[in-house]
Amino acid sequence: MIMTSVSLSATSAVHWRRHRRQILKFTIRTLRILIRQNPIRRGVARQYNRNTERCIVVTTRFTESEYDTLHYAAAMMRVSVSWIVERIIKLWKKPERHTKDNAHVSNYDIYNCHWTTNICTSNESLLFWSKKHPEKILRAS
């Protein structure tokens, strides 16, 4: 487990502390929605939580897979991991979302091509598969 912190609204922080494991089950669903709604962004500043409510820094733990996946998605959309976690909590708070099982699995992967003092290249990917049709890799668009 990787220990880190996220900045959440006071209300979300309460939910996160009490239901973190349940909330994280909504990560794949939330990422699929966010990827559809938000393009890859470059040449812009990172977007952070902009709540009217006071924010609290919450110490939390993620598995390596959760941590890497969240950081990859956040980097591509130029948002903070805290911003994504707020959206996961918002989705989790919708009661109608609790009636459906997660229909997809994901796989984050990184391939280091070259990493030297003069060259830094790598390739990262986040793939989503339908549990019903595992042969189909779902595209974000």
User: Residue 133: is its pLDDT beyond 80?
Assistant: no
Q: Estimate the crossing angle of helix 81-92 against helix 10-24, to 10 degrees.
A: 80
**pTM of the prediction?**
0.83
Give the pLDDT band of residue 139 (cuts 50, 70, 90).
low
| pLDDT tens digits along 23-76 | 999 999 999 999 989 888 888 777 777 767 788 999 999 999 999 999 999 999
| pLDDT tens digits along 100-120 | 777 778 888 888 788 888 988
At 106 the pLDDT is: 83
What mean pLDDT comes out for the span 128-140?
A: 67
Residue 27 has phi, psi (to 5 degrees) of -60, -50
Residue 45: which residues within 8 A CB-CB, separation 6 or more?
78
What burial class does residue 67 get, using C-beta atoms within 10 Å of its C-beta: 0-12 exposed, 13-18 middle, 19+ buried?
A: middle
Residue 79: which residues within 8 A CB-CB, separation 6 or more?
38, 46, 47, 48
Residue 8: which residues within 8 A CB-CB, separation 6 or more?
16, 49, 55, 56, 58, 82, 85, 86, 89
User: Residue 81: is its pLDDT beyond 80?
Assistant: yes
